A and B are shown apart, each in its own frame.
Chain A
Amino acid sequence: MKQYQIDVNGKARDVEAEPDTPLLWVLRDELQLTGTKFGCGVAQCGACTVHVEGQPVRACVMPVEAVGARKVTTIEGVSGPVADAVKQAWQEVQVPQCGYCQSGQVMTAVALLREIPKPTDADIDAAMTGNVCRCATYVRIRKAIHSAAEAGK
C-alpha cells in the first residue's frame, strides 16, 4: 500500500491504496464519492466518467498512481454554467430511467459542451458513443444536450 495525495473536487485528499488501484475504486471505496459508477471495469460503458484536468476520463482504467497532481472532478463536484445547464436540461427533458449511467452521461456531456458549445448530432454521436445506457435514454440525452447548448448561448 502506498500513500497518495490527489486533488478531488478542489480538495487535497490523502488516500492509501495499491498503485494499480483504479481511480474509480479510490473514489468509491476510499472517499465514498459514490456518484461515479462501476459498470464494466474495462472502459466500455462510461458509467465511471470523471474529469481529469477537464477532460473526460474512464476512472475504471486509470490507476491512482497515474493521477499525480492533476485535478479530478466527479459528478459531486462538477459545477459552473455548463454543468448547471446540463443538469437543468437533464431534468427538463426527463432523461433518466434507472439513472445508473447518468452521472457518466452528464460528465461526458459537460466536457463536450465545454469543448463544442453548439454541437451537431454528429458531434454528439462522437462524444457520447462511449457512454452506454441500457435503458436506452439516448433520444432524450441528445435532446437534453441540444437544449443545454441553447441555454448556454
Chain B
Amino acid sequence: MSRNYIQWFLKQHAERAEASSLTISRRMILTGGTAAGAGLVLGVGCRRRGKTPPDGKSGDKPGDPPPAKPGDPPVGDTPVAANDFVANAFVRISPDDTVTVISKHIEFGQGTYTGLATAVAEELDADWSKVRVESAPADATRYNNLAMGPFQGTGGSNAMANAFMQMREAGAKARAMLVAAAAKAWGVEAGEITVADSKVAHAGSGKAATFGELAQQAATMEVPEKATLKDPKDFKLIGKTAARVDVPAKTDGSAKFTIDTVRPQMVTALVARSPRFGGKVKGFDASAAKAVAGVVDVVQVPTGVAVLAKNFWAARKGREALKVDWDDSEAETRSSEQLFEEYRALLGQEGKSVRSDGDAANALAGAAKVLEADFEFPYLAHAPMEPLDCVVNLGADKCDVWMGSQMPTGDQMAAAQVSGLDAQKVAIHTLLAGGSFGRRATPNSDLTAEAVSIAKAIEGRTPVRLLWTREDDIRGGRYRPMMVHRLRGGLDKAGNIVAWQQRVVGQSIMKGTFLEPMVMPDGIDSTMVEGASTLPYEIPNLALDLHMTEVGVPVLWWRSVGHTHTAYTTEVFFDMLVRAAGRDPLEERLRLLAKTPRLHAVVKLVGEKSGWGSPLPEGKARGIAMHKSFDTFVAQVAEISLDARGMPKVERVVCAVDCGIAINPDNVRNQMEGGVGYGLAAALHNEITLKDGKVMQSNFHDYQPMRIHEMPQVEVHIVPSGEGPTGMGEPGVPPIAPAVANAYMQLTGKTIHRLPFRRGIEGGAA
C-alpha cells in the first residue's frame, strides 16, 4: 500500500473512531497534537520512515510506549504471570528466562516476527534461543504502526522500517532495568556490569545472574527515559541471520492459524454470495439446506446467506442444497473482454495529467524515431494458501475475534460497528496467517464484518468459524485491477530517449470506497501510477496521464500494488526503445540512472553477478529490469529458454537488492526468492476473467499457482548499507515479469503486450 493511501486511511478511521468509542480525536490526528498514549507517535512515523540510520544517532526520537497500568489490555495475547517482568509494551521476561517479544505486526510469511524480535534481542543482549514472539492485542495507542499514525496495521512493506528503532529502544530499556536491578542487588556500579546471552555479570565481584533471576527486581526499577543503543559494529544478531522464530512450529504442523481455532460449541459457517458482483439476495429457500445432517442454521447477512453447521462438510453440503434467488439489477454484468474494449477506447483520449516534464508532445513530434506500445493486464486474485477465515465469539458485552488480522484497528472497529459494542469490548486475537499478499487488509474489514454479522444473526448463541472455500476466494473479488497502458517514446538521431508519453487506464482501488473524498482530492489515485509517476530515468520530456474507469468489480492492493503493472510497462518499453537505438539495455540503464545512486548500484551489481554480456548457449537469453518500490531498490536479470510451446522457461534469476540494513540477510533472500515466484506465477499463468459478470475461474486448476518444476534458481545479492531498513515483503515482485519479457524480446525480437504471457504469446506477441 502506498504511504499516501495509509495517511488518508488513518484520517478516515480516526473519524470512525470518534464516532465509536476509541479515544483518538480527529483534531489530534489532523493537527498532530498530543494526548496521553497516542500523541507520542503522531507526526513522527512518516518523517522517520526509512530515514533513521541504524546507529540511532540521528533521526527523530521514536516514541516510548506508555508503561502498562492496571486495567490496560494485556501485553501480548497470553496472560502475564504475576512474577513476569513487563519491561514495556514489547518486552516481557519470565523467571524461567523466556524473553517474550510482543509483535504489533502480523506474521504471514514475511518474517516480521523474527525481524522485530531480532531488534529487541540485539539491544537486550538476549540469548536468541530463549526468545519467543506473541501477537499484540488490538490497541492503537500502544501498538500502532508509526508510519500510519494512531492505527495498528501491517502493510506497505513497512513493518521493519517503522518499528526497527522502536524495538531496539524497547530492548535497550529492558536491558537497562535488568542492569539497574543487578547493580542495586549487588551494591555495584551499573557501568561495571556486562550483559551477554541473557546473563548479567559483574567481573569485579564475581556476581552473575540470569535475566529470569533478576526479573522480579527489574520490575521494580524505574523505566529509563533514554535508551542507549549499540554501535552497529557491535551487532551480534542484526545482519547475522538469526534463525526464524516461527520455523520449528511450521515444520511439524503445530503452528496455529485461524483455521485451526477450536472453541467449545463452535459452528462452521459458509456464505452463499452472489455470483455477480453487486448482486443481492432477492429471496432464499433454506428447507433443503436445513435438511442436511449437521446443519444448524441458515441466516441472511449483508453479504449473502450463511449456512451454519457442526462441521465444514455439513456446511458445504448445506450451502450446495441452499436455493438463493439473486437480484442482479445493480450487479456488474460486463465481460472482461468488453471491459478491455472500453479501456482501449480510452487510450485515444487524454486523461488527467499526473506528471509533465518538459514538452513530451512536441519532443515526440520532433523525434527521429517514434515507438508506440500498448500493454494489457488482467484482474488477479491473491489466493493465499490459507483461505480467508475468521472465528468470532460474540457475547452480551464482549466480542472475541480470532483471525489473521492485518489491520487490527480496522478489524476492531468493524466488529464494534456490526456488533453494536464499544470498540474496547472487542478483542482481536491475531494468529499466524497462511499468506495474504494484501487480501487480509481491506478498507472495510470485509471478513471481520461478515463473520460478526453471522454471529450477530444467531445472537451469539455459539462461536462461529467463518470459512471461505478456495472457490469463494478465487471468485470473491478484491482483485488487482485490470489495467491498460499506452506508451509512446521518441529517440533522437543519436538514439537518445528524448520523449516519453504514458497513458494509464484502469479501475481505481480508492475510488468508490469511503476513502475517495479524502484520498483523491486532486482526482488522482496515486496507487494506479506509482512507479510510472516516479520513473527515475533522466528523460527530458515526459508526460503521464490517467483514466479511472467505473466497474462494479471490487479491487484491492495486490503484493506491490501499482508497481505490478507500472514496472512492467516502463521497463519493457524502455528495452524496446533501447534496442531500437541499438544500445545495450544494462548500459543504457546505468547511463540514465546516474543521478539515482542506489538504483544505479543495484543495476551495476546485478550486471556483474549475472555475467551480463557473456555468451549464453544457443536458445537462451537474458533480460534485465529494475524497480524501486516501498523504498527498496531491486534489479533482476532473468535467464530464459523457450519450452516446447514457445513459452518462456525461466531458468535462473539473479537479483540485487538494497533494502538499507539487512536485519536478517537470509530472510531478505527468502523474500526475494518468494517475490520472484509470486510474480512469475502471475506473469506466466494468472488471470481472472469475467463472462457476463461471472468469474470464470474457480480453483487452482484454472488459476494456476507457480509449481516447483517452474521455479528458477534464484541468486540474491544484497548491497551492504548503513541506511535504515526498508520494505522486503513486496519489492521482489515488480521486476520479475519485465525481466522475463525483456529476455523474451532478446531471444525472439518480440514484445509481450498482454499478460499473462500465455495469453500474450498465444495471442501473438509482436
Q: Which residues of A contact B (CB under 8 A)?
A: 1, 17-18, 20-22, 25, 28-30, 32, 34-42, 44-45, 47, 74-76, 87, 90-91, 94-103, 106, 124-125, 128-142
Residue in chain A with minimal CB distance to B259: A38
A44 to B670, Cβ gap below 8 A?
A: no
**Alpha-carbon distance between A99 and B111 when the two chains are bound, in angstroms:** 11
Given A39-B470, A45-B385, A135-B109, residue A98 in contact with residue B707 (CB < 8 A): no
A134 to B385, Cβ gap below 8 A?
A: yes
Contact with A along B47-83 (1 / 0, CB 8 A): 0000000000000000000000000000000000000
Q: B220-276: which residues lie under 8 A (CB-CB) from chain A?
A: 243-244, 246-257, 259-260, 262, 268
**Alpha-carbon distance between A139 and B708 when the two chains are bound, in angstroms:** 8
Cβ distance B512 to chain A, nearest Cβ, rounded Å: 28
**Complex contacts, A125 vs chain B, CB 8 Å:** 708-709
**Alpha-carbon distance between A34 and B700 when the two chains are bound, in angstroms:** 22
- Choose one: B260, B674, B706, B711; the contact of A97 (CB below 8 Å): B674
List the one stretch of B210-218, B411-419, B431-439, B577-585 in contact with chain A. B431-439
A134 to B678, Cβ gap below 8 A?
A: yes
- Choose one: B247, B317, B471, B680; the contact of A90 (CB below 8 Å): B247
A136 to B706, Cβ gap below 8 A?
A: yes
Contact with A along B295-336 (1 / 0, CB 8 A): 000000000000000011110010000000000000000000
Q: A94-B243, A98-B434, A124-B708 are in contact. List 7 more A-B contacts (CB 8 A).
A: A29-B311, A41-B469, A75-B253, A103-B253, A128-B708, A132-B706, A141-B708
**Alpha-carbon distance between A38 and B388 when the two chains are bound, in angstroms:** 11
**Alpha-carbon distance between A68 and B707 when the two chains are bound, in angstroms:** 32
B674 to A137, Cβ gap below 8 A?
A: yes
Cβ distance B514 to chain A, nearest Cβ, rounded Å: 30
B251 to A97, Cβ gap below 8 A?
A: no
Residue in chain B with minimal CB distance to A20: B313
**Alpha-carbon distance between A17 and B311 when the two chains are bound, in angstroms:** 10
Cβ distance B538 to chain A, nearest Cβ, rounded Å: 34
A136 to B434, Cβ gap below 8 A?
A: no
A138 to B435, Cβ gap below 8 A?
A: no
**Complex contacts, B701 vs chain A, CB 8 Å:** 42, 44
Residue in chain A with minimal CB distance to B248: A91
**Complex contacts, A44 vs chain B, CB 8 Å:** 699-701
A29 to B312, Cβ gap below 8 A?
A: yes
11 chain-A/chain-B pairs, Cβ below 8 angstroms: A17-B313, A36-B253, A37-B257, A41-B470, A41-B699, A45-B705, A74-B253, A75-B253, A76-B254, A99-B434, A131-B708
**Alpha-carbon distance between A21 and B385 when the two chains are bound, in angstroms:** 22
Residue in chain B with minimal CB distance to A44: B700
- Choose one: A99, A128, A129, A136; the contact of B246 (CB below 8 Å): A99
Given A100-B434, A138-B677, residue A75 in contact with residue B252 (CB < 8 A): yes
B435 to A135, Cβ gap below 8 A?
A: yes
B residues contacting the other copy or chain, number (CB 8 A):
65
Cβ distance B663 to chain A, nearest Cβ, rounded Å: 14
Given A134-B435, A140-B670, residue A99 in contact with residue B255 (CB < 8 A): yes
Residue in chain B with minimal CB distance to A17: B313
**Complex contacts, B249 vs chain A, CB 8 Å:** 99
B109 to A40, Cβ gap below 8 A?
A: no
Contact with A along B445-472 (1 / 0, CB 8 A): 0000000000000000000000101110
Residue in chain A with minimal CB distance to B251: A90
Residue in chain A with minimal CB distance to B114: A94
Q: Is B666 positioned at the interface, with any CB of A under 8 Å from its CB?
A: yes
**Complex contacts, A138 vs chain B, CB 8 Å:** 677, 706-708, 711
**Alpha-carbon distance between A151 and B699 when the two chains are bound, in angstroms:** 37
| Main DSSP-derived SS at the A contact region | loop
**Complex contacts, B247 vs chain A, CB 8 Å:** 90-91, 94-96, 99
**Complex contacts, B255 vs chain A, CB 8 Å:** 99
**Complex contacts, B707 vs chain A, CB 8 Å:** 129-130, 132, 138
- Choose one: A32, A106, A133; the contact of B251 (CB below 8 Å): A106
**Alpha-carbon distance between A57 and B709 when the two chains are bound, in angstroms:** 20
B706 to A21, Cβ gap below 8 A?
A: no
**Alpha-carbon distance between A130 and B109 when the two chains are bound, in angstroms:** 21
Residue in chain A with minimal CB distance to B434: A100
Given A42-B699, A45-B385, A94-B243, residue A136 in contact with residue B251 (CB < 8 A): no
**Complex contacts, A47 vs chain B, CB 8 Å:** 385
Among B253, B255, B671, B699: residue with most chain A CB under 10 A: B253
Cβ distance B203 to chain A, nearest Cβ, rounded Å: 36
**Complex contacts, A30 vs chain B, CB 8 Å:** 311
Residue in chain B with minimal CB distance to A126: B709
**Complex contacts, B244 vs chain A, CB 8 Å:** 94, 96
B673 to A139, Cβ gap below 8 A?
A: yes
- Choose one: A28, A76, A132, A139; the contact of B385 (CB below 8 Å): A132
- Choose one: B666, B676, B705, B708; the contact of A94 (CB below 8 Å): B666
Q: Is B714 positioned at the interface, with any CB of A under 8 Å from its CB?
A: yes
Residue in chain A with minimal CB distance to B680: A136
Q: Is B713 positioned at the interface, with any CB of A under 8 Å from its CB?
A: yes
A136 to B313, Cβ gap below 8 A?
A: no
Q: Is B110 positioned at the interface, with any CB of A under 8 Å from its CB?
A: yes
Given A98-B108, A99-B432, residue A136 in contact with residue B711 (CB < 8 A): yes
A39 to B709, Cβ gap below 8 A?
A: no
**Complex contacts, A133 vs chain B, CB 8 Å:** 385, 677
Among B111, B254, B671: residue with most chain A CB under 10 A: B254
Residue in chain A with minimal CB distance to B711: A138
Contact with A along B656-687 (1 / 0, CB 8 A): 00000000001100110110111011000000
**Complex contacts, A91 vs chain B, CB 8 Å:** 243, 247-248, 251
**Complex contacts, A134 vs chain B, CB 8 Å:** 383-385, 435, 437, 678, 681, 705
Q: Is B293 positioned at the interface, with any CB of A under 8 Å from its CB?
A: yes
Q: Is B588 positioned at the interface, with any CB of A under 8 Å from its CB?
A: no
**Alpha-carbon distance between A34 and B252 when the two chains are bound, in angstroms:** 11
- Choose one: B256, B259, B293, B678; the contact of A135 (CB below 8 Å): B678
**Complex contacts, A42 vs chain B, CB 8 Å:** 470, 699-701
A37 to B676, Cβ gap below 8 A?
A: no
- Choose one: A87, A103, A136; the contact of B677 (CB below 8 Å): A136
**Alpha-carbon distance between A36 and B253 when the two chains are bound, in angstroms:** 7
> Which 10 A-B pairs rank lowest in CB-CB distance, beginning with the nearest?
A136-B677, A35-B253, A100-B434, A99-B250, A98-B109, A75-B253, A97-B109, A138-B711, A34-B260, A44-B700
B435 to A100, Cβ gap below 8 A?
A: yes
**Complex contacts, A21 vs chain B, CB 8 Å:** 311, 313
**Complex contacts, B677 vs chain A, CB 8 Å:** 133, 135-138
**Complex contacts, B262 vs chain A, CB 8 Å:** 32, 34
Contact with A along B93-117 (1 / 0, CB 8 A): 0000000000000001111000000
**Complex contacts, B681 vs chain A, CB 8 Å:** 134, 136
Q: Is B387 positioned at the interface, with any CB of A under 8 Å from its CB?
A: yes
Given A22-B313, A129-B708, residue A136 in contact with residue B699 (CB < 8 A): no
Given A35-B254, A76-B253, A138-B711, residue A97 in contact with residue B670 (CB < 8 A): yes
B699 to A40, Cβ gap below 8 A?
A: yes
Among B317, B676, B709: residue with most chain A CB under 10 A: B709
